[in-house]
Structure 1
Amino acid sequence: MAENNNNVQLSKTTQGLINDVSHFFPGDVEVQFIGNLKSGYVRHDQAQVVQDGDRLYVQINDLTEPDFTATHELLHLLMTLRGFPQIYFPLTSGDKQLDEQLMYMGTELYDDVCHFVVYSEQRKHGLVDERIEKEYVKGVRQTITPESGKVDDEMPLRLVTILDAMIFLGDHFDQFADVFQRSFPISLKAAKELYAMLTEKPVDSPFALRRDVVKLYRDFDKQMKKWGLPPLQLNDFVMMTAVFSKRQLGLQVKQVFNLYHSELKETKTGKRAYVGFTKSDDQNSFVTSGPAGKQASEDYFKELYSKTVKELYQDLRIPYLLR
């Protein structure tokens, strides 16, 4: 249902998606409109999802395209509720500002991959037309400044934003290519390379989503290094839901994971963290801190390594997905 003080009429498609989310979520799902702003462009920060007990609120703070904005958030929610991998931030560098930057970029790149599913569904439902494409490109111009001809600190944001534009516009990108070529030639060249990598295989399953996010984090860092900018190391910083086969769940931890003592600390405990990287893709898949003291620590990890993967995830209370 929609809570509506702005006389905004949501389409049947949007109402249908609210019902789809309600089917998977045990409580109430509402779309709320906050304020009367109409900026004339569309951007992802025009809505947020807030959970209050057994209620989910999709709050929209820009009424330029309420159906597009609402369905965008609802489709992200649907992916979460239907068991696509999620990202978590259990680690801290000790530098709040750096943590926030890493969390922002980690989320934006993760969302870029999710958008292969989200934008495709929105187009399928007739929620993207020429007007919305123009408003989206206008939103890009509101998010990033034109390049000055050389690499600067805004390059990571430009790259993630233009990559998303390529995913959103798809076959229609050529109609706007001159806008990007004129203002963002360096970022556009890099975005094309990342886009080519991401479109080699479709994002058609939870496993495929995880595979592409892991690759995108890694290839994004390669681009940062080419530009002489510091890599983000999101494969280490971001924990992502692991996807196992039934066979893997029965294997010992040491057969599936490499465990490293990280320079980062566990946010919850403030202790130095141990990070479990899946051997198959070298992605952070669980975080633990273990006990203090050399002997206690050694015993703890000996025991941990001999557990099955299923036992470990049950003990740590970390969700995982089955292939």
Structure 2
Amino acid sequence: MTEKFAPAVTALLDEAQELVGQEIHVELGTKKVGYIRHGQSRQVENEDGSITIFVTDITNVDYTLSHELLHLLMAHHGYPQIRFNLTTGKEMFDRQLWATAIELYNVVSHVIIGAQQQELQLVDQVAQEQYLAGILAEVPVEEDKPDRLAVFRTLALLDTLVFYHGETKLFSRQFKEKYPLSYYGAQRLYKIVAAKPVDSPFTMRRAVVNLFAAFDPWLESVGLATTNHNQLITLDGVFSARQQRLQVRQVFTILHSELTVRKGDQSAYIGIGKTDHQNAFILTAPAGKQQSADFFKHVYSQSIQEFMREQQIPFVERK
């Protein structure tokens, strides 16, 4: 890699390589559309364990590469991840639901990533203009009523509000003209994201859960089918030392689900948080009525820490 990046980006690359413990290769494309979108980069883990980050558009390499590196760093700094452990049995439907969950999760991630990019002085006036140009270029003008692109538009505009930290002077008039329904929906959802600070694994998880919970009522309000992400999508738990000592029965309700486990196609039991009503893990139970009863009796009596480690369920320790 001979391309020179801004010092702040080079430092992020060095930090990521040290944290991951593997070589990170950067491959730059030749496309240059003149605007930035978050889909202009991706990362791939290679067979030897190294990682390649592809920057497919070089309009603003420092912004795009730093954005991808910060996503990578978040995953390795103990931020909760979303996991697709369950299936409806309909592959295309599953993929649509997963894609929506990823976008909602990324919106919240971008609060943290955007703040870090601002601190590193990687979001200047040029980047702000390029971001808005990307939205106007790639988000189609709205129909008179919600269509199949309503979710795409609304989530793109929600991400825009996050990028600009809720400041709307630069685009408010244009968005009201081009995307009146979607912009209203995005503003409604942005209030959920911006209600409390998002600056740690715990606050990030809280914001994702709240956004999942707000998303279905918005879908219903525009006549679209709901997602039920609170049950379909597993979001790693974040527990304090005190919470880890509590019994499973004190923190979770374990529900039998009509959904099945993706690996093995077994009947699924979902661990739903009693406070936030979000899926934090899935289980399969042994066959046989008595064996199953004994299994759940044992599970409910365990501490959160014992249970998570015994079942090899990922979780984050709240500092």
TM-score w.r.t. the length of structure 2 is 0.95
Task: Identify unmatched segments of 5+ residues in structure 2.
Answer: none
1:171 deviates by 5.5
One-letter amino acid of the counterpart of residue 240, structure 1: L
Please tell me whether residue 66 in structure 1 is matched to residue 61 in structure 2: yes
Match of 1:184 in 2: 179
Q: Relative to 1, partners in 2 of residues 1:241 and 1:64: Cα closer, same or farther, differing over 3 Å?
A: same
Give 1:86's match in structure 2, choosing from 76, 81, 89: 81
Deviations 1:161-183, CA, capped at 9 Å, x for gaps: 10000111226431111221111
Aligned to 2:118: 123
Q: Which amino acid is 1:16 matched to?
A: A
Aligned residues: 317
Instruction: Provide structure 1 residue ranges, at least 5 long, that are not aligned to the other structure.
Output: none
Change (3 A) 1:9 1:44: same
What is the one-letter code of the residue matched to 1:184?
Y
**Conserved in 2, the CA contact under 8 Å of 1:26 and 1:54?**
no
Aligned CA RMSD, in angstroms, stands at 1.5
Q: Which residue of 1 aligns with 2:129?
A: 134
State the alpha-carbon separation in 2 of the partners of residues 171 and 320 from structure 1. Answer: 31
Letter in 1 for 2:45: Q
Instruction: Detail structure 1 runs of 4+ shifted over 3 Å in the superposition.
Output: none
Deviation by residue 1:56-90 (Cα, 9 ceiling, x = unmatched): 22111111111111000011111111111111111
Alignment equivalent of 1:47, drawn from 41, 47, 65: 41
CA distance in 2, matches of 1:205, 1:274: 29
Partner letter of residue 247 of structure 2?
A: Q
Q: Distance in 1 between matches of 2:182 and 2:12?
A: 35
Asked if 1:252 is matched to 2:247, the reply is yes
Question: Is the aligned partner of 1:166 residue 2:161?
Answer: yes
User: Which digits, 9 at most, give the CA deviation of each residue in 1:207-231, with x for residues without a partner?
Assistant: 0000000000010111011112111
With 99-108 and 129-138 compared, the bigger mean Cα shift is at 129-138
Give distance in 2, aligned partners of 1:256 and 1:126. 42
Contact 1:18 1:30 in 2 (8 A): no
Matched, 1:321 2:319: no
Name the CA distance, whole Å, in 2 between partners of 1:263 and 1:138. Answer: 44
Task: Letter of the 1:39 partner, please give it.
Answer: V
2:286 maps to 1:294: no
Once residues 127 and 241 of structure 2 are traced to their aligned partners in structure 1, the CA distance between those partners, rounded to angstroms, is: 44
Aligned to 1:110: 105
Say if 1:293 and 1:171 are closer, same or farther in 2 by CA, change over 3 A: closer
Deviations 1:82-111 (A, max 9, x none): 111111111111111111111111011001
